[in-house]
Structure 1
């Protein structure tokens, strides 16, 4: 049986815990759909939630406490920790919150080098570095080490790439394009350039959508998918 190719574009930011949870849930759903007549082309595209942070970052826990109020932030942390455990994530709230443009630029390079599979390796490593290991993912040396772990390139080549402006225009264009299409929060998943799924959905939601897609090709996959102009995924 011929398999239908399904293009998934996931717009996310590494500083967003719900993006990491959504990432894990999406991968779980894809694994659960192994027997369906579909194959997935997964691409992660950038979004920068906190564009005005200083280049050297701020204390993650203190920044959130000041932004939301300490009591609300403590409540939010408990929710994130519980949801994280369900998704096999051990969230930690130490370390710096930082601008993620360099990390997204490295992600763009990963896609250019090895497509979905290469980018996927790096995506998971960067999420774990920031959300679990309290690393500063704005630092070139940290990102270069992650590129090595992802078997993407040597540390020397990664540092050389990060010292240039390669992929910067592309990354900035994709961020601006997402905002121009009305994306204000992440994660935001675009399916086949036609439907959008907003927020960190659970694996069963994605499985339901993918099962529908396996059965038909020209109707909305489920009520969870909102119609979206094809140009939004271009």
Structure 2
């Protein structure tokens, strides 16, 4: 795993932050929406943050084709508890523009293929392209109710994000790398998402409100929050 370093240029500070997330984690989606708003504030204060999204699998043993969502959630959490969890996410997401439409979701996917596409985006187009793909994956799953384990869905996401033709095919050979990333990050003691690393070290865990991200990343940049 690449170690990332902070650099200072004139009166601006650049941070490189690794965000460990799964694209079916509601709090990762909420965290991204909040973080995006915080990054605008930080940039206005002279702190530029580049994000690399690191894959994490919440359900590494789920079948490659995924599972019926109600069946999976009932087995994992109990259905009534699952509905209560969904309601909490919906309410929390409203503050930051994270829209959830759980009523149209039918599948809980295996996320290896989605993560592989996002990693390819980073390799081929850097942080900006990867962010486009990650955002599209969250929106497809949580807002549009799409099965982001479905290759046709991933093909459309890659195309609409501006990836070169054949992106999904190119990403398929990297799925073992995704499993390696997942194992390595868990070996570092990261056991919840979203989590945030800098210089290969855990900086903080858990989604934050906008000011929380501003404060934590300002301190990381050596500036008052």
**TM-score normalised by L of structure 1:** 0.84
**1:149 aligns to 2:149 (yes or no):** no
Partner of residue 158 from structure 1, selected from 164, 167, 171: 167
8 Å contact kept, 2:15–2:221: no
- 2:6 maps to none
CA distance in 1, matches of 2:46, 2:199: 15
- 2:139 maps to 128
Partner of residue 98 from structure 1, selected from 90, 106, 109: 109
8 Å contact kept, 1:45–1:174: yes
- 1:57 maps to 66
Deviations 1:186-221 (CA, angstroms, capped at 9, x unpaired): 1111134344211112211110122324445xxxx8
CA distance in 2, matches of 1:159, 1:108: 11
Secondary structure of residue in 2 paired with 1:115: helix
Secondary structure of residue in 1 paired with 2:43: coil
Change (3 A) 1:181 1:198: same
8 Å contact kept, 2:31–2:207: yes
**1:117 aligns to 2:124 (yes or no):** no
- 1:71 maps to 80
- 1:84 maps to 93
CA distance in 1, matches of 2:98, 2:222: 33
- 1:226 maps to none
List alignment gaps of at least 5 residues for structure 2: 1-9
Change (3 A) 1:54 1:193: closer
- Correspondence 1:202-217 to 2 at 5 A: 202-216=209-223
**1:21 aligns to 2:21 (yes or no):** no
The number of residues matched between the two structures is: 214
CA distance in 1, matches of 2:119, 2:157: 14
8 Å contact kept, 1:11–1:187: yes
CA distance in 1, matches of 2:27, 2:21: 9
**RMSD of aligned C-alpha atoms?**
1.9
CA distance in 1, matches of 2:175, 2:82: 33
